[in-house]
Structure 1
Amino acid sequence: MTALRKFFSKKLQYSEPLARADDANGHALLSFFGEDGAAELEGLYAREHLGIVTLELKDYYSLRSPDQDILGPKIMDTLEYEAVREIPNIFHHARFLFSERIGFCCVFLAFIITEDVVAFANATQLFRIQVRERINKNLLSTTNGIGDVLAGHAYIPPRRQGPFSEVVFKAYCHSRRFASQPKELSSLPLYDEFRWILEKGKISTLYQPVIDFQHGDVIGWEAFSRGPRGGFFEPPQTLFQLAAELGCTFDLETLCRDKALQGLGPIGPHQKLFLNNFCNDASAPGFSASQLLDIIAPHGLTPQNVVLEFAERQGFRDMNLFYKAIENFRREGFAIAIDDVGSGDSSLHNLTQIRPDYIKIDISLIDGIDSNPYHRSMVETLVFLAGKLNASIIAVGIETDTELSSLVSMGVDGGQGNLIGPPAPAVSAKSVTIPAKAWYTPANTAGWHTFSPVRELVRPTCSVSPGTTVKEVKAMLADQLPQTSVAVVNACRPVGLLMQYTMDRHLSTQFGMSLYYHREVGRIMDSAPLVVDVETSVEEAAKAAMAREGTKIYDDILVTEKGRLIGAVSVQGMLDKLAEMQVELAKGANPLSGLPGNVVIEHEIEKRVKKRLTCGMIYVDLDNFKVYNDVFGFDRGDKIILLTARTLTRAVAEKGDARDFVGHVGGDDFIVLAEPDNVPAICDRVLELFAAEVPSLYRNEDIQRGYIVGKGRDGHIRKYSLVSLSLAVLDCSFDERFSMGRLSERVADVKKRAKDIEGNSCIREPFASS
């Protein structure tokens, strides 16, 4: 099969005239799909309407020439990846089957057509536009060039054209011939429909409420534009993709904005309309704050009522011009939101340059956040960054109660989604009941700190002397992609740092080239960069980086060993590392309390053993908890568990210090590892807080008589006191004879004697390793 593929990969390269559509060529084409794929496709041919799409890069051979053995396949990998990624957004009238690489430069996509063939043909052209846009972003960074995508399509009706191998090859040839022929979009059926929509204003608007998580009130609505219902252009992405190809994005955006304003109706003085912006040209006529002021005024709106929303993946032709335009909008009082943050196209640099008022977390991170530790860690990081940027975090796509409660507990500021309110033709200001904050401990502040050194993240960096010119630095960075900074050193010791975006910002000013291009780098470098030793922990370095002034918060960190520069660490790399460690920690966290579980507890104990650190180990157990659970149910039992977690964490925060640790063994068992001097105050505060709070989880009559009636472990009905805490405290002085087995025995013994005492109790004893 391999030899056959190599032979036909050359034969199947497109050229005129096309190879005859005979059975041999058809079988050669099918060989690329493998036996199972070919059999599946032939089976579908018997009963389904099939469609194929071929994609190829018009300039493939010129783009691959610098490193043809390596770069060529990478380009095609990108083409296939971006194509498959975009299929769900475009082909609403067909079901995707599979993709396959044919030869060196063609991607073959197979579909079952579920509706009319014309819709499938129209989708193919929009598909070409979108895939071209996506792949060119990648080509610019890898080849410094751009290419054009050729897309063709063909229709295969069920069992009407002869042997399947011959039919599929005919369709393949037809598709590639169609792709190679020059076409005017105005000649396609979809063009006339698009012009009709634009000229007749056939756009409708749906409004989805955005609520704040503090009170549950509606703070605004996001406006979603739709084409004619049930038509090919109903999804907004198809409208804007064709508009971009025709060069009329701003015309379409103006129509959508006007429709959104007309349908809004009266809103409160502090409520907001979130308007999506798709235009990627900041110099477009009408992209100005003054014109927008004139447009919103007749609708009774002020700039404080409007939020301009831009997608994070949106690429502007001139980013510096865009940043200036954003500043003009902000000066007039308009707020700025960045959407799709966390979608995979993230740019920390853009966030710091734009400094948005709102950061909207992409739906991909919200989906399953209540159970996905990776998503939770990423959202934690974004909440932290938003605090540094003084921005509000909004979660998009909330579908379940557990997602909502998780986001509220994590400190997210607001949200939108079908759970809160689906997009609707009219605005609704109905408030939402916000769930009480569950006891949530972020993975990076749960008492477990990482001591991984930045050494693990150091990468080589360019270095220059203070006398190097800016011109030389710019050339150096251009030749050494993906380097984005240079360290300025004197006798191997760092004296400055220059980030590429800082250099570009200086050079892009009106007289920047004249002032700086031929001058020493010292004129524009940061002469006080953040420098850390190679053994500094990642956590400490990240805290230092986040403590810098806003304009430097995402600059690289220089790393030294014995005072000599050895490399640099990017903030993005540190955040990725912290997120990775948070994921590992979150995997072992208790799903109810959010406190670290047994894996981390054992790590904390082993750390103290290894360093011979004395500590007070407080083992916490609930008395009469099983009976309470049986009488009141598991939901109320969970509230007792959460109360205990909250009590322990608060007591340690108030009476302990940063070295103390709280963990959740499981069920109704907890553990605290504290400095010996802190133990008495912590224990007293725990018992005090618990005694004050636990009555709120009982009925009045239970509190008055001081007991409940329930069935014990022996099956007998009797009276049981209210739930209380037993604290078994061991003063541990670890030595080489320590064993976990011996520790467990001593804990069990002391805990038993504590539980024999009625009500809240505490017994403290020394622990001998032998």
Structure 2
Amino acid sequence: MDSVSSVVGLGGLPQAVPAAKQSALYHQLSGLLASDSLTPVFQPILWPHKGTVLGYEGLIRGPESGTLHQPAALFAAAHSVGLSVALEHHCVRAIVHRFVALGLSGQLFVNISPRALVCAEEQGLNIGTLLAQTGLAGERLVMELTEQADDGSWDVLQPILGRFRSRGVRFAIDDLGAGSSNLGRWLELRPEFVKIDKTFSLGIHNDLLRQQMMRSVSDIAAVAGAVVIAEGIETQEDFACVGDQGVAFLQGYFIERPSAEPDQDRIHAASVRLADRHLLVSSSGTELDLPVDETEGRAVQLLRRVPSVSSDTPNEIVLERFMAHSDLHTLPVVDEGVPVGILTRGGLVERFSQPYQREVYGRKPCRIFMDDKPQVFEMRTPLIALSRSLAEGNGMVSDFLITRHGRYLGIGSSQDLLLALTRMQLRAARHANPLTQLPGNVPIDRQIQRYLASGLSFSVCYADLDNFKPFNDVFGYQQGDEVIRLLGSVLSRHVDVQQDFLGHIGGDDFLLLFRSADWRLRCERMLADFSNELARKLADAGVSASEGYEAEDRQGQCRHYDLPTLSLGAVEVEPGDYESHHQVAQAASEAKSQAKKSRGAVLFIERRSSAV
């Protein structure tokens, strides 16, 4: 009868493997290790609040064409033939070398079992030598203790952790809440990082018990001085909700899948996008369903999701929440979704520092200490209006509340507001037309592309002056610049700054993006106002609008010219009509050309689209 060995098969169940097959498997795995046929892959760990990457977890993949490609099958096979420790050591070396070769930034997280760590140096994995060979600083290496079965290695781990830590290496407990990775291990090993098993992340946005567990882990970590990383983030709802529970670092397929050559520029751009809250999800885990153009320059751009308390919450519970989170300075007080007040760390700590205050008021509801007149702004409030309102109030408050249709979403800070306003001013100055200070070509193109990406209906209108070239030649560029400034002023007066966009392409060319329902009427008023105001301006200089003027044309022939008039060429854009801002600009330019074929002030509307 053939001898057998146990190996994990489909579904994780042990299966019997003949000794001959076991020997073949042994030689197959030995060959993989000897030939460096295993591929390291890396998955980023995101710090959404800062828009940066903490580092990468290094993982391993077997040959793509074989049955050992997936790590579960690879490590199960190695365990069955006694090569699990050798495989782990090989993976650590390969991952560290590849991480350095790729020039990846931040921390490197590498999985290792306690057993493999205990016998690392005696079986050829010398971390000091590995760090010296690769040039990786010990402070950048985090070793994740992964083994779930207790084989006694945990009991002798403490002195070994000390030797590694002396080289700067730090440790993480992996998959907290799964197998033997429990709170007892945390208490014994005091790791610098704790990675929460995906069991607690998946579906957390609609599971109150999971949310409470995540908050509890965050609270314990704050006391222990550990950093919490939530694994298994696979949907935007879970992404938003986990952040609400106080977890700063996230990892999962929603952010990025493991890759052999991570695109750091793209990952960084995605990190910034998430930090800028272009992916907006409410504290209840549902999408805010806002087009990107409706977030920039508005209060929602400053949104930070902070858990609230009810007005019945005892003061001692509020104080404990502040003490557990050193970066928490404000707690909103919300009843049935509606903000009713605000509590500050400084105010509560100062009050409870006085004799007997905690004993007297600790169990009383926090409503007695809250500010019941907090600054509250709807999410679509423009940042300029928000800033003005705060300045006109009773001094500049530190934090304010942000709502959607009167229901609490999160908080914003005055510091973030000032930074956002500064960025807006710098961006506007960098891309503005120097003559009119209106947005130039770069912001115009961006705005069109945002509308297209958001699936919005809008109308684009190209504004151009007729007879401007000879006017500029006869009367001089200073008078010509005055006419362009006058045109910019007239157009600006007739756009709704809450809905519409006006940009200056250059010279006497302007572009308007309308979302106002009455945009045609606005255009008619632009045409009339520009004609009247230019006529009045030139009348003061002795030039009659009805008579025009004489000047040489480009062939040197004297001819009569009318005064400049405004032509508007418009195109109505529906979702799916165009794919890029180039196509929209081209369509508007063609509509403008049609408008200029008619004499005088004209609005021409092109009713076709690229989809026709």
* TM band (smaller chain): 0.3 to 0.5
Scaled by the length of structure 2, the TM-score of the pair is 0.48
Q: Structure with the greater relative contact order (CA < 8 A, sep ≥ 6): 1 or 2?
A: 2
Scaled by the length of structure 1, the TM-score of the pair is 0.39
